[in-house]
Amino acid sequence: MRELLWHAWLIARKDLRLEFRSRTALASAFVFTALVLVVFEHGRDPTAVPTIDLAPSILWVTFSFAAMLGLNRAFQAELENQALDGLLLAPISRTSLFWGKFGANLVFVALVQIVGVLLFILFFNVPVWRVWLPFLLVCALATVGFIAVGTLFSAMVVKTRFAELMLPVLLLPFLLPPLTAAVAVTVKLFAARPLSESAGWLRLLAGYDLAFVSLTTLLFPATVTE
Amino acid sequence: MTLAQRGRWTTIGALFLLAGIYVRALRYTPVEVHQGLAQKIFYLHVPAAWSAMLSMGFVGLASILFLMLKDARYDRFAAASAEVGTVFCCVMLTTGPLWARPVWGTWWTWDARLTLTLMLFFLFIGYQVLRGAVTDPSLRPRYAAVVGICGLILLPFIHLSVYLFRTLHPMPIVLKPSAPSLPAPMLVTLLLSFGVFTLLYVGFVMQRYALGEGATDA
């Protein structure tokens, strides 16, 4: 188990190092997040719907789209010079490879979410800091399972035609349960309701994470061949 | 007799029985007091939903078996079941709004079961788009199986997540802990229709599977 995690860490570190060296995807995702927030702000009538009512949906839709950008890139880089074949021939298990990619994607999305929340507070004047701890918990729970499925699918779609289009087509139905739950909990948090009121949603998110992290770990070896 | 021929005869038989269901539903089954004639669509809509769910169940099951046994027949079966499931989804998504407009006063609402079936439809579409988009034929069955299994596991979560919202849909009247609350003639028509739609599913899948057998993987 320790070896498995160590190899996963090595893969994640490699991916993140590549990302921090070029910063192309990360910078694009930050700009994309900011632009989506601006577009949402200008695409609504502020006199008709109060910001606080719309804010959770805006935030989570922005996060979801930005995550999709990051996921597309996870296996794209491995196609150049048959780097993926190199990884598959390396003496590491497929599970380590998947967890490494999954971990790097989680860090990528977490960074985008941090920038997204800061911009969200700035643009929409929503006092997120008052509920930062439960909000952090919701972000983590709503992101983990979805990113696990996204990582699995991104390993497949890189070998298809229209890869950029294939990922959202396959992945968006899987976004529905975490998105619905995350928005429902965030609405309650922003309305200063206690987290205990959202216990059902939180259980759903935890169940989703557990089910899909296990399932994707099991299924990943079927998506890669030397 | 080949599989395709057997499938064709099964489908023809099922279509005749479907005509019988129309006659029984319109002529020999009482009109529901509150919904009027619009309720008759129930005898098509609910069994179509059943067949669509059955299709997804078999796609998931065949996908698991394919990944375990690497037998191409399971992949062909999953592909056939997904295509047939898409057709039943279309029937369900067409008949639903036709019934909803006079009864609910709206074509569409984001109710639990509506959202679930719409997502089921998108899963079927995604599954088939992926099959078409994989350039390497040796990868196609494996990728499709992965999506098939994930889709099967997703459905209960979508159901749960949308069920936590208030629902407009009629509550279960047949499959519920207590005895069915549907009057006997209506229940018999519905159960017969379930049987006919299952037979239609079998006939369609047999034909589509036979077509897949003849086709090359390229």
pLDDT tens for B114-168 read 888 898 999 999 999 999 998 888 889 999 999 999 999 988 888 777 667 655 5
Q: How far apart are CA A131 and CA A133, in angstroms?
A: 6
User: Cβ of A170 and B142 within 8 Å?
Assistant: no
User: Cβ of A153 and B147 within 8 Å?
Assistant: yes
Q: How far apart are CA B201 and CA B209, in angstroms?
A: 12
The partner residue sitting opposite A177, judged by closest CB among B135, B147, B161, is B161
Which of B55-69, B130-144, B165-179, B182-196: highest mean pLDDT?
B55-69
pLDDT per residue, tens digit, chain A (226 aa), is 788 888 889 889 988 898 888 888 888 889 989 998 888 888 877 777 777 778 888 888 888 888 888 888 778 778 777 787 888 888 888 889 999 999 999 999 999 999 999 998 888 888 888 888 888 999 999 999 889 999 999 989 888 888 788 899 999 999 888 888 888 888 888 888 888 888 888 998 999 999 999 999 999 998 887 5
Residue B73's pLDDT band, with cuts at 50, 70 and 90, is very high
Query: How close, in Å, is residue A122 to chain B by CA atoms?
Result: 31
What residues of chain B lie within 8 A of the CB of A172, using their CB? 122
Residue with tokens 């995690």: A5
Write the single-letter amino acid at B150. Answer: C
The partner residue sitting opposite A219, judged by closest CB among B122, B149, B161, is B149
Q: How far apart are CA A195 and CA A131, in angstroms?
A: 10
Are A181 and A60 contacting, i.e. CB atoms less than 8 angstroms apart?
Answer: no
pLDDT at B216: 47
Q: Give the total residue count for chain B.
A: 218
CB distance from B12 to chain A under 8 Å?
no
CB distance from A214 to chain B under 8 Å?
no
pTM: 0.87
Query: How close, in Å, is residue B161 to chain A by CA atoms?
Result: 5
Mean pLDDT along residues B60-71: 94
Number of other residues whose CB lies within 10 A of the CB of residue B37: 10
User: How many contacts does A have with B, using Cβ atoms within 8 A?
Assistant: 89
Residue B177's pLDDT band, with cuts at 50, 70 and 90, is low
pLDDT tens for each residue of A152-204? 999 898 888 887 888 999 999 998 888 888 888 888 888 888 888 888 889 98
User: Cβ of B134 and A159 within 8 Å?
Assistant: yes
Q: How far apart are CA B19 and CA B11, in angstroms?
A: 12
User: Cβ of B133 and A153 within 8 Å?
Assistant: no
